[in-house]
Amino acid sequence: MLLETISLVRDLPRLHEISSVLIRYGGGDLVRRLGVGGMLERAGRVLHWKESVEIEHLDPSQRFRQGLEELGPTFIKLGQVLATRVDLFPPNWIAELEKLQASAPALPFEQLLPQMKAALKGLDPHAVFDNLNTTPRAAASIAQVYEANLKDGTPIIIKVRRPGIEPKIEADLRIMSHIARMVEVEFPEARRYQPRQVVQQFAKSLRRELDLAAEARNIQRFGEKFAEDETVFIPKVYWDYTGQTMNVQERIDGIPGNKLLDADAAGLDRKLLADRGANIVLRMILLHGHFHADPHPGNVFYLPGNRIALVDFGMTGMLTHERRNQISDLLISILTKDEMGLLDVLLEWTGDSVVNETKLAADVIEFVFNYSSVHLKDISFGNLLNELTAMIREHHLVMPSDLTLLFKTLITLEGLGRQLDPEFDMAEHVEPFVKEVLRLRYSPEAVMKRGAHSVKDMFSVLTGLPRDLAKFFKELRRGRVRIDIDVKRLERFGQQIDRSTNRLTLGIMTASLVIGSSIVMTIPSGPKIFGMPFLGFLGFLIAVVNSIWIVFSIWRAGKE
């Protein structure tokens, strides 16, 4: 029962709203199977099961996207995260989810003014900043952006979190977490999509986005890494005015990434911009291991001298050294058409998934063969990655979340490059970076460092082995060796047994009351009510109430 998993009654109104939207968009069966409908109706909140919108002409991806839009900011953000899961959804679903926008109706400046004053330690923002424009430059679901100037005339933007948004998001995240757990229990076929892991990843990302100081720290990190690169511009953060609910950044007045005609009119070189943009993002990914995860045209500005400015660092990706090595192996296998190298990388990513290695190997060989006679400059890197992820979906593999974000970034990057330069060759830019990663991996310093770590790990294992074996056999003699078995549905099965036992116990008690009350009825002495012995009457009354409750409980269980 979902009722037993939701501990706070205050979430019930929101759960009712979510259930109603699911029903209207054709998700009534999901609501029934999760037990949400019965739980809400027992709480006095009636669901209109026959209420629906005109969805006959919509395909499932459109229904899903429109439902997320109706549910509000948290679910719109979820859809944007799902749009990065190219390993889970086919291209038509990804394209539909990409239509979700985080924009929202702007709140009046007066409603955000207390938030700004609190961030400025009680000071009036009009006194701290000059030329503060109370009309927002942008209004998103989490924050609004205003233009102003510092006292020295420096143009800035002020990003302010919407007031009262955190409790609403936390309530939605609690409900999402419970629903994801119930989906894994009720829909075994959905477990391969790892709904709980997706929600956990999303919750972590969204909470990080709520902290505007975290975005400012990302900006500063990227600024330090590209401090010596004159081709890229990262805005400066003004920490004196920056905190969790507000950050202040240097304002960029450049040409937006989607205004290509304006770039031409300004005399900028599109081809050079495409080359520099690709080099910047690939350097982030393969050399730094920390990358801007949303380099779409709205987050890119073109500056004089063919410089590129990046904004909105709320969504970034992190890659470990091991993951960067795997990505390099994947890319070099694709570029050199090495099917065995590509197969090895995919098998590393399977995790606990059960995979038919023979069939996967055959599909990898066919995949590489299809590109064997195609020149690198003629390969669409985005199409290639889409085909690769389609093969991953077909074999029911689920890539780690950091890789799905990376693949989405690479596809977006190539799309931006092709807009600037129709002859843009992504593979041409990838190859030198991959070679640089391989050179660094096999440099004498790196080999010696890995060797030292291996020797240290081996020494640790050998010295700890006698102690571990002694501990194991000691626990074995005492009969205290424990084996953990994770069985799906076991928790729900235990709950069902517990409820059945409770009903059985109450039934036995009710039968005992009937027998005892019947005996008391034969005793003429003692207090009476309606001419009957009081204790006997009371016993029968309790037995009737218990019987009604048992019958209702059994009927309710059959409806869930």
- Cα–Cα nearest to 31, from 44, 18, 45: 18
Tell me the torsion sign for CA atoms 415, 321, 276, 379.
negative
Q: Which of 294, 312, 329, 363 is catalytic?
A: 294
Compute the radius of gyration of the chain from its Cα atoms: 31
Provide the edge-to-edge strand list for the sheet that holds 155-161: 138-139, 143-149, 155-161, 246-250
* One-letter amino acid for residue 474 of the chain: K
How far, in Å, CA of 556 to CA of 274, rounded? Answer: 63
Strands 138-139 and 143-149 turn out to be antiparallel
Longest CA pairwise span in the chain (Å):
110
How far, in Å, CA of 75 to CA of 83, rounded? Answer: 12
- Cα–Cα nearest to 309, from 246, 270, 242, 257: 257
DSSP state, residue 106: P
Angle at 544 between CA 543 and CA 550, to 5 degrees: 85
How far, in Å, CA of 158 to CA of 59, rounded? Answer: 40
Q: For residue 268, give Cα distances in angstroms to 105, 263, 523.
A: 35, 5, 106
- 425 in catalytic set: no
Q: List active site positions.
A: 294
